Amino acid sequence: MTPMLGMFTFVFNLVGLVICLAGLTLAQRRAKHQQKRWPGYALAGFGFLVATTPIWAQWLLAG
């Protein structure tokens, strides 16, 4: 793994983690007010995809 790829992996994981936690927090807060929780879960799913982007990129480039 090149140093640049390692740096991007760290950044994507960190940003994805923050987005995922924000989405789960949003879903939890909406549950208290009996509102729809899907926007929070969608944001959490998007954060997961952002965090796993370097893994998918390595897998696609290796294959």
Q: For Cα atoms 59, 55, 23, give the angle at the middle one, nearest 5 degrees.
A: 140
**Residue 1 confidence class, pLDDT cut points 50, 70, 90:** low
Domain extent listing, the chain: 16-62
Tell me: pLDDT of 13 over 80.
yes
What is the spatial distance between Cα 33 and Cα 18, in angstroms, rounded to a whole number? 23
Tell me: pLDDT of 51 over 70.
yes
Q: What is the mean pLDDT of residues 6-25?
A: 93
Q: In the chain, pLDDT over 90 holds for what percent of residues?
A: 49
Sequential DSSP letters for the chain? --HHHHHHHHHHHHHHHHHHHHHHHHHHHHHHTT---HHHHHHHHHHHHHHHHHHHHHHHHH-
Tell me: pLDDT of 40 over 80.
yes
- Decide if 16 contacts 2 (C-beta within 8 A): no
Tell me: pLDDT of 6 over 90.
no
